[in-house]
Amino acid sequence: MTQQAISRFWEWGRKILCVGRNYREHCLELKNPLPKQPLIFTKPTSAYLKEGNSIVIPKGCEEVHHEVELGIVIGKPGTKVTENNAMEHVAGYVLALDMTARDWQSVAKSKGWPWTMAKGFDTSCPIGNFIPKEDLKDPHNLDIWLKVNGLEKQKGNTSDMIFNIPFLISFISQHISLESGDLILTGTPEGVGPVHANDVIDCGLGGDFTMSFNVTKD
Ligand code: MG
C-alpha cells in the first residue's frame, strides 16, 4: 500500500464502518442508553463527499443532523486483530461528518428497521484530507468541534470516547475483516442538530485540521 494510494482511500476503499453512541453525553442527548458493547452500522462508499461539493438534504427528509467524527483509515488488512496489535493496522485519520436523516432514523428505530437510508444517502459522508498516522501523535486526546454558520454547535475531545480505537478495531475485526482503505467513524460528541439549505458547516480536529461544506436541498 503506497502512501499516495492510501491518501486517496475514498476512491477505492471498500467499506465505511460507523460506531454509534460512543460518547456519553451524545447518548444522553438523544435519550439512548449507554452501550455495553459498540453499536456498529455501515454507510455505502457512494456516500463519500469531498470539499468543494455540497451536502444535499434528500427529498422527503425534514431533519438532517450534523455529527462530527474522527475517522480511522485502515492501511493493513486484519482479521481477529488483538487490541495490542490494533494500531499497526491504522494508516492514518480523517476528519469526517456522519450526516444523519434524523427523522428517517427515528421511524426506522420505532419499526426496528435498519438505519441504511437514514445514514447512507448520497453526500452523507463528507471527509477532509487524509492525515498520516505520524501527524497525529495521540488520537485519543484531540479536540473536535463543529460550527454552523459560525456558531459553535459541537465541541468535544476524543478522550471522551467510550470505546477507544484499539478496542473498536479488535471488536469489529472479530467478525468483519478489515481491508486497506476501509474507514471507521468513531462516533460523535454531544451537540448534534439540524442543518438547512444554504447553511455552512465548519469543523476541526486537533487544532491543525479543518474542513468546510455548504448545504443544499434536493
Ligand atoms: Mg455518528
Residue 132's pLDDT band (cuts 50, 70, 90): very high
Q: Name the grid cell of 144.
A: 473536535
Residues 204 and 213 sit within 8 Å (Cβ to Cβ): no
Task: State percent of the chain over pLDDT 70.
Answer: 100
Gap from CA of 4 to ligand 1 centroid (Å): 28
Gap from CA of 154 to ligand 1 centroid (Å): 13
Residue 64 pLDDT: 98
Name the residue ranges covered by the structural domains of the chain.
3-217
Strand partners, 148: 151, 201
Gap from CA of 100 to ligand 1 centroid (Å): 8
- Tell whether the model's pLDDT for residue 204 goes beyond 80: yes
Architecture of domain 3-217: Alpha-Beta Complex (3.90)
Mean pLDDT, the chain, whole residue set? 97
DSSP label at residue 99: -
Gap from CA of 145 to ligand 1 centroid (Å): 14
pTM: 0.97
Dihedral through CA 148, CA 198, CA 53, CA 93, nearest 10? 10
Residue 2 pLDDT: 86
DSSP label at residue 80: S
Residue 40 pLDDT: 98
- Tell whether the model's pLDDT for residue 71 goes beyond 80: yes
Q: What is the pLDDT of residues 85-103, one digit of tens each?
A: 999 999 999 999 999 999 9
Candidates 42, 94, 72; CA nearest to 170 is 72
Residue 10 pLDDT: 98
Gap from CA of 6 to ligand 1 centroid (Å): 23
- Tell whether the model's pLDDT for residue 1 goes beyond 80: no
Candidates 38, 1, 24; CA nearest to 167 is 38
Residues 91 and 73 sit within 8 Å (Cβ to Cβ): yes
Residue 121 pLDDT: 98
Gap from CA of 130 to ligand 1 centroid (Å): 19
Phi, psi of 31 (to 5 degrees): 55, 40
- Tell whether the model's pLDDT for residue 3 goes beyond 90: no
- Tell whether the model's pLDDT for residue 186 goes beyond 90: yes
Q: Which residues surround ligand 1, an ion (CB under 5 A)?
A: 67, 98, 188
Residue 156 belongs to what H/E stretch?
Answer: strand 151-157
